[in-house]
Amino acid sequence: MTKTEIKQNIRSLIDTVDDENKLEEIQELVDFLVNVHPIEWESLSNAERKSIEEGLKDVKAGRTISYEEFKKNHSKWFEK
């Protein structure tokens, strides 16, 4: 599939979504993917690496919350 076809497919999928909350989540995800630059693992401190590894263990163990709950608990992060 070409880049143009992929973009058209994404637009077509988005056009089928009527739920405003889902559209906002899609917008936030796309904004994150487009505007956030990857971090090199080697550039992280040992404490940062350990924190990430602990978080991944939590996910594997099922210790997670929904994105909606996260946004509610950390609403200050989403203020513009």
pLDDT at 71: 84
**44, 52 contact by CB (below 8 A):** yes
pLDDT at 80: 58
Q: Which of 10-19, 49-58, 64-73 has the lowest mean pLDDT?
A: 64-73
**49, 41 contact by CB (below 8 A):** yes
CA angle 19, 7, 13 (to 5 degrees): 25
- Cα–Cα distance measured from residue 6 to residue 76, given in angstroms and rounded to the nearest whole number: 34
Q: Tell me the average pLDDT across 62-67.
A: 92
Q: Tell me the average pLDDT across 5-25.
A: 94
- For the chain, the average pLDDT equals 89
Show me where the domains of the chain are located: 1-36, 45-80
